[in-house]
Amino acid sequence: MIEIKICATSANLGPGFDTLGVALSLYNYFKVEISDELIIENCEEKYCNENNLFYIGYQTVCEILNVHDKCHVIFDTNIP
């Protein structure tokens, strides 16, 4: 299993804040491993499917690498 750490920026606050580009001390963590089926944990039920933005990004990278794997991902989101 790998862990991905993403920091929050002032751009996450809303329109106009993206020009500041200030990093904040808030992080989202994603623990990912290859799986036979798509499993998304700690996410709202309506986003636990193939339309999840994290999964779309994962699939995009898999296509570039010519890999066709599903994943098991655990969200630990701290960015509001």
**pLDDT confidence band for 18 (50 / 70 / 90):** low
DSSP codes of every residue in 20-40: T--EEEEEEEEEEEEESS-EE
CA distances from 14 to 1, 18, 68 (A): 33, 7, 35
- Whole-structure pTM over 0.75, yes or no? yes
Q: Is residue 12 classed exposed, middle or buried when 0-12, 13-18 and 19+ CB atoms within 10 A define those classes?
A: middle
Q: Please check the confidence at residue 77 and state whether its pLDDT lies above 70.
A: yes
Cα separation, 28 vs 47, in Å, equals: 16
Whether 8 and 26 have beta carbons less than 8 Å apart is answered as yes
